Amino acid sequence: MRIVRKVLFHLLILTALLTTTASAAAKVHVIAFGKWTAVQWFPGGTEDKPLTLKIRALFVDGRVKEYVLGPPHEVTDRLFVVRRMFRVNDSLPEDSAPRWQWQRGGWLLVDRVTGRVAPINLPEFDAYYSGASWYRDYVAYCGVADDGKKMYAMVAQLSRRKPVLKKELSNAGVAEDAAPDSACPVPSWQRSPVRVSFELAAGARQTFAIRGHVVDLVNDAEEDEEGSK
């Protein structure tokens, strides 16, 4: 009789654990955006020419997880990416109170199923100078070297740590007083076949064909041939 009771007791415990695990796994996370709010952004750290940006809160299960700007890019029906906005304390040691300023950040990857929000590591991406263009799980942008003296054509993929494309575009660098997103015009995408184009100085451009993890430079003759088909 004691053995039967022990078996029943352990079965009840196991059933309770399985029920709890199943409930946790089936939990539905609610991802939502708040209302748009206008904030002042001081690009380049100067306070004489503020820009007005519209931002909104990103809610996960009713709690503010991050603040974001711009439209999200849907990668799949489960994942999307969005640009981050955050506040930084700009006060000096002698200041009596914090001086909060809004700053643009990088990109976030949001998972609707797990509710996870994670930063995306984009090599050479500069939050001030780089303008990004998304297509599927690829993002194209002009990267800037740490010393600001070189600019690169960059294509990154969410599933890879290393960039799919990194090619030097210029060694002239960017000016300290340059405007936001001025490393180069935002790259443009083309589908079937998948290609991305970067504009260079004097109206020139370079186009790259992307085949999985392989990138090929497309010359003008190939572009003309494709266009005539």
Task: Indicate the domain borders of the chain.
Answer: 28-120
pLDDT of residue 170: 81
> CA–CA separation, 58 vs 65, rounded Å?
6
Instruction: Tell me the pLDDT band of 116, cut-offs 50, 70 and 90.
Output: very high
Return phi, psi of residue 70, to 5°.
75, 170
Torsion over CA of 123, 142, 55 and 47, rounded to 10 degrees? 100
Return phi, psi of residue 164, to 5°.
-70, -35
pLDDT at 220 over 60: no
pLDDT at 191 over 60: yes
pLDDT of residue 46: 62
By the 10 Å C-beta count (0-12 exposed, 13-18 middle, 19+ buried), 142 is classed as buried
Helices in the chain by DSSP H: which ranges? 2-25, 220-228
The token duo for 79 is 């994942």
pLDDT at 3 over 60: no
Q: How much is the pTM?
A: 0.80
Amino acid at 187: P
pLDDT at 88 over 60: yes
pLDDT at 222 over 60: no
pLDDT of residue 6: 53
- Return the percentage of the chain with pLDDT > 90, whole number: 55
pLDDT of residue 216: 73
> CA–CA separation, 101 vs 37, rounded Å?
15
pLDDT of residue 9: 44
pLDDT of residue 8: 45
